[in-house]
Structure 1
Amino acid sequence: MKALRAFPTGMAAIQWVFFIFANTIVVPVSIGAAFDLSAEEVAMTLRSSLIFTGAACVLQGLWGHRYPLMEGHSGLMWGLLLNLSASAAALGMDLQTIGGGIATGMMASAVFMVAAGLLGLSSLIQKVFTPMVMSVYLFLLSAQLIFIFFTGMLKLTPDGTLDVPVSLLSVGIVLLVTILKVKGKGSVSNFSILIGIIVGWIVYDLLFPDDTALSASGQSFSMFPLGTPNLEWGIILTTFIAGVLNLSNTIASIQAAARLYNDKPEETRYNRSFTLTGLYTAAGSFLGLVPYAPFTSTIGFLESTRILDRVPFLIGGGLFSLLGLIPVVGSFFATMPITIGNAVLFVAYLQLFGTALQSLQGTIFNSNTIFRIAMPVLTGISLMAVDPVIFSQLPVYVQPLFSNGLIMGVLLSVALELSVNWERYAASSAYEK
């Protein structure tokens, strides 16, 4: 009987390993390409990411917020780093200079996070990041991540055209995981993400055996691969602001998890999570890792699998760290096709949009109060869709901010919540279709 009970726990833990891995592997590889790192440096950051991410998940689950929420590379900060690297020419800086400014900004924001946690400032921070701001954040985060995963599952040829066979396989995996989730029963539905990754990986290797993959074995660790810390104040300021806004990840994740578990978390759980995330961010800055945060999108994974037990999550996190400590194992997992990982995550993260919709339950909008949600969300999405080069005539200190739709949308929402008394307009007639 014990063996029978252990089997679903073990399977769930393995699914957590794949989910965490699929969310992690893409990040250091894409950052390495964006900052023109060598293959050895990318492999080093990948191994560092495996070790840190697994340990971060376990510590948050045991001592921090204590929910089964993946602690990983923040989508907000990941997008920021990619945005800054793409803006290097417009800013008149080389990639190492931008990377050094990012490292300084990351360390500064890490100090703020740790201080916020140790001083118990979570209640004050939540007054700034109100439920409406969190709703805006969830909508924009889901849009940004879906953009990233959609483009990531479509492979391009060297001449910039679509690699049709690989891209069609990704679309097929999206359909497979969706059907398994919606039509499957019991374990088939719960493990649809794991099934999608395994099937996609096998089919990819059978159809495209000549594709090469990154090896993560045998690499030594080096400090500040993105660039030595410097005092490029524009980059530092932008990174620091994004780092402070990154606290919204923690608030949104814990609040969403509390709703899922019908729970009311104490303030100490927010504060402990702030402290841990700050420590991870500080340590990660030395190794060129994207800053950490609890993944709000994990709620979509939990809703997809319906496996809410914390034990498989803790086991999965521990196993994940071992992938980075054992080079041969990490090297094997590094062969997972990036397009397949993105295709599976595309389906998993569709649930995040549902989480954003649920966060608005009970809120009634009229022709005036609709601006409360529509203006920041649609402004942010609009900024995501435009080419950052259009902001090249602005001062270099604000270019990265204005070209980041997620940051600007959240900042606009905070400004609207602090400056407008929305209750005054809520009594107007109901919003008409």
Structure 2
Amino acid sequence: MKKLNVLPTSIAAIQWVFFIFANTIVVPVSIGAAFDLSAADISMMLRSSLILTGAACVLQGLWGHRYPLLEGHSGLSWGLLLNFSASASALGMDLQTIGGGIATGILASAICMIAVGVFGLSAWVKKVFTPMVMSVYLFLLSAQLIFIFFTGMLKITPAGTLDVPVSLLSIGVVLLVVILKIKGKGAISNFSILIGIAAGWIVYRMIFPADTLFSAGDHSFSLFPLGTPNLEWGIVLATFVTGMINMSNTITSVQAAARLYREEPAEKSYNRSFSLTGLYTAVGSVFGLVPYAPFTSTIGFLESTRIFDRAPFLIGGALFSLLGLIPAAGSFLATMPITIGNAVLFAAYLQLFGTALQSIQGIVFNSNTIFRIALPMLAGISLMTIDPKIFSEMPIYIQPFLSNGFIMGVLLSIVLERSVKWERYDESALSEK
């Protein structure tokens, strides 16, 4: 039995706690604010998120796919919910009606995900999300996350201008983490993420007035805070389809982790992971939480830290759940400057782009086959940069899709892979003509 090295394991577990926290806290708070919820409801959502996210990580690590992969709120679904809240007036609905439709769609997709796991249908899912679709997914995911984190680390004043001192500190934190990763030796390189968070947090509090991202407030619980489930079919359908696309997170994450560990994942690993993710998503929807998914972006974190043991991850997940049960602990971590958290994540997820590049190694493109990756990827990125309001005149059923570059890019890739026989257009096939 492998001996546990207590000190490095403990430090690595703490680093996992901060990494999970930086990826988690903004999501329930931003959703609560977008849907105009009370401080008590946002507090409940935050605590629920802490408890459930930590438990999700531990269960996946012990029984699911069994890799140290953060199981957190899906960035794809997070963006969809924010888009819905911003489009309430254009859709002619109040926020509670939209939230109820979202809850129905999430529950429906969660049930399907559980069914995929229970009945062993992961092979069918992998046929849809082919390696090329997964490559497009990884490129779009890295672009979407970098957009989010880059915007988040640059503080904007109420007047709409850049807060230069705070933003410069964020850039300094990015450079610190990157330099420690490249130039650091041993533990310095492995714990560059934790060092970046701690150093940035301390300097921020020394230079700038203390401001808290969120105050814990009341500790009561309420069910379906976003809205009681209903049958607003446009909202339900868009949320359900997004949930189905969200399944690609599991395929991509498990495959990427397996490559990192130089092994081949068993089919049951996918099935167990789907079952657990569907369960967390269903339970989380009751508390207004964004659907869950294994984070492919965790691969960037693992490659940055070079700590591949499961023990720190499992301990970190358990500690994270404990934060939700101790209001004072959660409130303390909520004082972490959000710009610092985003800066560290920006630096950590630069590695994800490398993972995307590795996914297409060995594939040779020519002037014809380049369209299979360039078209969905660049079209998706283009849609990410367009104001969603321009689609307000489109039918309500397709607005959520057209305004989401990630969804459209992945869907376009799936269509191209299913409808075009790309092997006919590679160099060897062309030379035979």
Match of 1:127 in 2: 127
> Gaps spanning 5+ residues in structure 1: where?
none
Match of 2:216 in 1: 216
> Gaps spanning 5+ residues in structure 2: where?
none
Deviation at 1:110, TM superposition (A): 0.3
Deviation at 1:217, TM superposition (A): 5.5
Distance in structure 2 (CA, Å) of the matches to 1:285 and 1:254: 24
Match of 1:140 in 2: 140
Match of 1:108 in 2: 108
The alignment's TM-score, normalised by the length of structure 2, stands at 0.97
Pairwise CA RMSD: 1.4
Match of 1:98 in 2: 98
Distance in structure 2 (CA, Å) of the matches to 1:54 and 1:328: 17
Match of 1:394 in 2: 394
Match of 1:355 in 2: 355
The question of 1:334 aligning with 2:334 is answered: yes
Cα pair 2:211 2:335 within 8 Å, conserved: no
CA-to-partner distance for each residue in 1:374-423, whole Å, 9 max, x for gaps?
A: 00000000000001111111100110111100000000000000000000
Distance in structure 2 (CA, Å) of the matches to 1:403 and 1:336: 32
Deviation at 1:215, TM superposition (A): 2.1
Deviation at 1:428, TM superposition (A): 5.6
Deviation at 1:218, TM superposition (A): 4.4
Cα pair 2:39 2:217 within 8 Å, conserved: no
Runs of 4+ in 1 over 3 A off after TM superposition: none
Give the counterpart letter for 2:321 in structure 1: S
The question of 1:294 aligning with 2:294 is answered: yes
CA-to-partner distance for each residue in 1:303-327, whole Å, 9 max, x for gaps?
A: 0000000111001000100000111
Distance in structure 2 (CA, Å) of the matches to 1:274 and 1:217: 34
Give the counterpart letter for 1:196 in structure 2: G
Aligned length: 429
Match of 1:374 in 2: 374
The question of 1:118 aligning with 2:118 is answered: yes
Cα pair 1:217 1:331 within 8 Å, conserved: no
Match of 2:28 in 1: 28
Distance in structure 2 (CA, Å) of the matches to 1:403 and 1:125: 25
Match of 2:313 in 1: 313
Q: Tell me, what secondary structure is at the counterpart of 1:293? A: strand
Aligned pairs (5 A) from 1:23-172: 23-172=23-172
Larger mean CA deviation between 60-69 and 83-92 belongs to: 83-92
Q: Tell me, what secondary structure is at the counterpart of 1:116? A: helix
User: How much identity, in percent, do the aligned residues show?
Assistant: 77
Match of 2:195 in 1: 195
Deviation at 1:179, TM superposition (A): 0.9
Aligned pairs (5 A) from 1:227-238: 227-238=227-238
CA-to-partner distance for each residue in 1:264-290, whole Å, 9 max, x for gaps?
A: 111001000000000000001010111
Distance in structure 1 (CA, Å) of the matches to 2:394 and 2:209: 47
Deviation at 1:340, TM superposition (A): 0.7
Give the counterpart letter for 2:418 in structure 1: L
Q: Tell me, what secondary structure is at the counterpart of 1:230? A: coil
The question of 1:283 aligning with 2:283 is answered: yes
Match of 2:273 in 1: 273
Deviation at 1:40, TM superposition (A): 2.0
Match of 1:408 in 2: 408
Deviation at 1:29, TM superposition (A): 1.5
Cα pair 1:217 1:327 within 8 Å, conserved: no
Q: Tell me, what secondary structure is at the counterpart of 2:72? A: strand
Cα pair 1:217 1:330 within 8 Å, conserved: no
Deviation at 1:79, TM superposition (A): 1.1
The verdict on how the C-alpha distance between 1:399 and 1:198 changes in structure 2, with shifts beyond 3 A counting, is same
Give the counterpart letter for 1:339 in structure 2: T
